[in-house]
A and B are shown apart, each in its own frame.
Chain A
Amino acid sequence: MENQVTRILHNTFLDNYLFDYNSSSLLIYYKGSFSNKVLEKIGKFLKKDLIPFPRLNKKIFAIFIELAQNIGRYSSEANFFGQSDNHNTYNEGIGSFALYETPNTYVLSTGNLVNNYNTKKIIDSFNKINTLDYSELRKLKKEILNAPKVHLQKGANIGFIQIALKSEKPIKFDIQDINTEYSYIVLTFNIKKNAAK
């Protein structure tokens, strides 16, 4: 269940992070849970030549899936369907997602709640990714793919590296404290329209 604070933050996401309506056009905006069904629907919508360049289309689709699955899995705000425990067992993490277009780029942006005990780790990860160039990122990705699995590892742990490889650097991220337990994180990724890679 969404409380008032997060509702305000999700709306602020739209206002603050999708600014500059004159020079950009919104293609997709979604706020809610990132369940498989939602991914399927948005994914299908994306694939229907929303972006008329196959390479860009695939890039955006790939980034969308990684972002959406991260929110579904890790967002601290989730659908509980009346359960009383705290487990996000349905992968229905809640967040906001926007895809918009400027004259030279496509922009993907997400917003979701995170637990404060994770924020330092997240900030460190993005800062690290932002210091690495393409070949260093690719090397790091291979290292992690090759490493033994950690306890309870769910994914491949390379989602953001993969996104960094497919978008412009630096990755923009903004984390706002909500209270002692939670913060709200907004991520923004840019893809140049004429990107060869």
Chain B
Amino acid sequence: MQQNNICSLKDLLIKRSGNDFFIPNINFSAKTGKCIIEGESYLEEAFEFYDNLAEWIKEYLSINSSIEIIFKLTYFNTSSSRSIIDLFKLLKQYKEEGKAVKIDWYYENPDDGDILIEVEDFMEETNMEVNLLSLK
């Protein structure tokens, strides 16, 4: 049974906007553990942005036992791919510690952006299971 502690962890909501054009939309629910990363990601230095997401995930999993990360990225640059693979590694760690971790990756059909190749690489390198789902 999922325990939802009523404590300091709030939802993480980040919206892509005028000045922050290169970031994905983020919607992490502290209530349900459903974490959506959606849109495009082409920050030049993605580490800081994704470290922020990782910190939230760590805090969430310190008081909960399951989480679902939902990727709906239609494009990401190489800087982001490093950060995404690091996120996969973090989640894999939690999975090995007994947390219920689910990763869903939605891809466009047809996959004009060759995104599936990238995700396959992430899966292979981290040994992390990912549910591949078509957006259409």
Q: A10: CB under 8 A from chain B?
A: no
Contact B125 A62 (CB under 8 A): no
Q: B22: CB under 8 A from chain A?
A: yes
Residues of A within 8 Å of B97, CB to CB, are: none
Q: Which residues of chain B from 83 to 136 have any CB-CB distance to chain A below 8 Å in the complex?
A: 85, 110, 112-114, 117, 121, 124-125
Knowing A58-B112, A69-B79, A155-B44 are in contact, say whether A36-B125 is a contact too (CB < 8 A).
no
Residues of B within 8 Å of A62, CB to CB, are: 75, 77, 113
Q: B81: CB under 8 A from chain A?
A: yes
Complex Cα distance, B45 from A4, in Å, reads: 32
- Cross-chain contact of A156 among B21, B78, B112, B124 (Cβ < 8 A): B78
Q: B82: CB under 8 A from chain A?
A: yes
Contact B44 A91 (CB under 8 A): yes
Contact B44 A142 (CB under 8 A): no
A189 CB, min distance to chain B CBs, angstroms: 15
Q: B56: CB under 8 A from chain A?
A: no
Q: A15: CB under 8 A from chain B?
A: no
Contact A69 B114 (CB under 8 A): no
Complex Cα distance, B22 from A57, in Å, reads: 18
Q: Which residues of chain A from 114 to 157 have any CB-CB distance to chain B below 8 Å in the complex?
A: 138, 141-142, 145-146, 154-157
A141 CB, min distance to chain B CBs, angstroms: 7
Residues of A within 8 Å of B114, CB to CB, are: 58-59, 166, 197
Contact B125 A155 (CB under 8 A): no
Listed in ascending order, the chain A residues whose CB lies under 8 Å from chain B are: 36, 39-40, 54-55, 57-59, 61-62, 65-66, 69, 72-73, 91, 138, 141-142, 145-146, 154-159, 162, 166, 197
29 contacts between A and B (CB under 8 A): A36-B22, A36-B44, A39-B42, A54-B110, A54-B112, A58-B112, A61-B75, A66-B77, A69-B44, A69-B77, A72-B44, A73-B44, A141-B121, A142-B124, A145-B81, A145-B82, A145-B85, A154-B45, A154-B79, A155-B45, A155-B78, A155-B82, A156-B79, A156-B82, A158-B78, A158-B81, A158-B82, A166-B114, A197-B114
